[in-house]
């Protein structure tokens, strides 16, 4: 039985959660058994998740600009509305319910949008299935668990599978299926520490800093004066019976087995020819571009990167803070895109945002509270840019059919649909996509069309 049929048979029988889980783990096991090498892919691609911690108020990112709709927007957002004079018009290729603009502090994004290197995905968020306002009002079991809670909603974005008892992330599950199991270095690279997105059943992210990797000072086996000490440390680790101690040992082994190859790879890459802003996100993206440039040395035909930016939980001072946040985000992404173009990687790398949730259209005086749906950005030369995908809310009137209450907008596109579109571009088969996103079939469209055909 060839691989394809094997999977088909597996999935043909799979209904419900436990069997979805079983299908995934069987496929992952099979990946292990095949000791898959990098031969599966003869091209290079990378995904870069830019996680906006705290819940980005993206309803101030895509703003209705014609008079009537701007008035509605302004009347609901009041003192949080971006002034009409500060709007930069954009012209999406697809028809929209109203004209749209970006705030002027996102001018680099306007430029990328106009160049066709940036797309927006409108009103996306955690969903268990497509729902209307009436349905969720009548049946709260249709709501995703712990709606409006930061960590639970982050988890939903990153797992795209809320029913799991021990959570794994969708990039981790992708790695379980397609990673090169002969390579000690994980396909998932995090420049921002531990995260669920990149945690699979069998795979974990390899984590390094925006500045790269630090080598061991007193435990470096390459230094002869350390060798006695290193061998004693190895013996101490072998002697450890406690499971938590063994888990700590495993981290050491992952660090030690990758440190040289990663450090050398980083050192081999030329400095960027463009300058990045001096912000934490830009520093992280700079390291992503470095690791992407070194993908051959790292033997990684596929890479998934995780970077993040904090501060989006704008309960207070939103008028002051949000322009700085979105400006920092825009300039960092812009520099990253320019660097990738200069390195000839722009069509191979797709960056995309995720964030806990959108925020309330209404104000709490000087900020906003936790909402639900929100807009996301997808950037790269493989993106069908210059357009807005998904569906913008019909209008910005409070208590509209999109409004779950106080301007918490019910998403019209699910996390699964968003992620599956990226996974398809990344090179997963339909069966693999269905295994990674067991709830995908609840939604009518598994490819939202924002990526070029691969």
The least distance separating another protein from the CB of residue 194, rounded to whole angstroms, comes to 5
- For another protein, the closer of residues 190 and 414 by Cβ is 190
Taking the least distance from each CB to another protein, the nearer of 20 and 185 is 185
Spell out the residues 6+ positions from residue 145 whose beta carbon is closer than 8 angstroms to its own. Answer: 152, 156, 162
Among residues 73 and 276, whose Cβ is nearest to another protein? 73
The two tokens of residue 332 are: 């960092």
Kind plus residue range of the DSSP H or E element containing 350:
strand 349-355
Alpha-carbon separation of residue 243 from 53, 166, 236, 237, 240 (angstroms): 32, 18, 14, 11, 8
Question: Cβ 430 to another protein, closest distance in Å?
Answer: 26
- The CA distance from 379 to 385, in Å, is 8
Q: In this complex, which beta carbon is closest to another protein, that of residue 201 or of residue 452?
A: 201
Whichever of 8 and 315 has its CB closer to another protein, that residue is: 315
Kindly report the backbone phi and psi dihedral angles of residue 282, in degrees, each rounded to the nearest multiple of 5, phi listed first.
Answer: -65, -40
194 vs 268, beta carbon nearer another protein: 194
**Who's near 64: CB < 8 A, 6+ residues apart?**
70, 72, 73, 98, 99, 100, 101, 395, 396
Q: CB of 315: closest distance to another protein in angstroms?
A: 4
Pick the closer one to another protein by CB: 15 or 239: 239
Angstrom distance (rounded) from CA 103 to CA 72: 17
Nearest by Cα to 437 from 374, 222, 429, 238: 429
Q: Smallest gap, in angstroms, from Cβ of residue 361 to another protein?
A: 8
Provide the minimum distance between the beta carbon of 45 and another protein in the complex, in angstroms, as a whole number. 24
Q: Check: CB of residue 359 under 8 Å from CB of residue 370.
A: yes
Beta strands in 132-274 (DSSP E): 188-190, 206-207
**Nearest-approach distance from CB 85 to another protein, in angstroms:** 21
What 3-state class would DSSP assign to 127? coil
Separation between Cα atoms, residue 230 and residue 237, nearest integer Å: 11
SS3 263: helix
CB of 244 to another protein, least distance (A): 5
């Amino acid at each position: 039985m060839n691989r394809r049929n094997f999977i088909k048979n597996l999935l043909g029988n799979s209904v419900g959660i436990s069997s979805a889980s079983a299908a995934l783990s069987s496929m992952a096991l099979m990946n292990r058994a095949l000791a898959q090498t990098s031969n599966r892919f003869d091209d290079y691609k990378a995904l870069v998740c830019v996680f906006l911690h705290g819940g980005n108020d993206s309803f101030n990112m895509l703003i209705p600009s014609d008079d009537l709709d701007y008035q509605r927007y302004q009347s609901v957002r009041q003192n949080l509305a971006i002034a009409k004079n500060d709007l930069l018009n954009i012209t999406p290729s697809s028809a929209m319910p109203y004209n749209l603009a970006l705030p002027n502090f996102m001018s680099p994004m306007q430029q990328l949008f106009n160049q066709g290197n940036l797309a927006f995905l409108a009103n996306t968020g955690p969903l268990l299935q497509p729902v209307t306002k009436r349905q969720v009002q009548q049946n709260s079991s249709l709501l995703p668990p712990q709606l409006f809670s930061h960590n639970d909603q982050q988890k939903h974005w990153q797992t795209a599978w809320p029913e799991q008892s021990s959570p794994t992330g969708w990039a981790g599950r992708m790695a379980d299926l397609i990673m090169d199991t002969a390579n000690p270095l994980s396909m998932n690279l995090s420049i921002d520490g531990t995260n669920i997105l990149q945690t699979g059943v069998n795979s974990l992210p390899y984590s390094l800093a925006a500045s790269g990797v630090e080598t061991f000072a007193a435990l470096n086996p390459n230094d002869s004066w350390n060798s006695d000490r290193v061998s004693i440390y190895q013996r101490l680790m072998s002697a450890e019976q406690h499971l938590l101690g063994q888990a700590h040992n495993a981290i050491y082994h992952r660090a030690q087995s990758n440190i040289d190859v990663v450090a050398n790879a980083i050192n081999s890459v030329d400095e960027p020819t463009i300058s990045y802003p001096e912000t934490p996100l830009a520093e992280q993206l700079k390291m992503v571009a470095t690791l992407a440039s070194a993908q051959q040395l790292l033997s990684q035909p596929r890479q998934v990167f995780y970077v993040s930016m904090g501060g989006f939980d704008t309960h207070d001072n939103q008028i002051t803070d949000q322009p700085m946040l979105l400006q920092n985000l825009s300039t960092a992404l812009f520099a990253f895109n320019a660097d990738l173009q200069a390195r000839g990687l722009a069509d191979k790398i797709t960056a995309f945002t995720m964030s806990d949730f959108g925020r309330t259209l209404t104000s709490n005086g000087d900020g906003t509270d936790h909402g639900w749906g929100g807009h996301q950005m997808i950037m790269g030369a493989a993106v069908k840019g210059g357009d807005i995908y998904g569906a913008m809310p019909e209008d910005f009137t409070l208590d509209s059919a999109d409004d779950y209450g106080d301007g918490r907008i019910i998403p019209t596109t699910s996390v699964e649909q968003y992620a599956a579109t990226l996974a398809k571009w990344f090179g997963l088969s339909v069966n693999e996509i269905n295994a990674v996103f067991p709830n995908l079939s609840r939604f009518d469209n598994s490819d939202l069309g924002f990526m070029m055909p691969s």
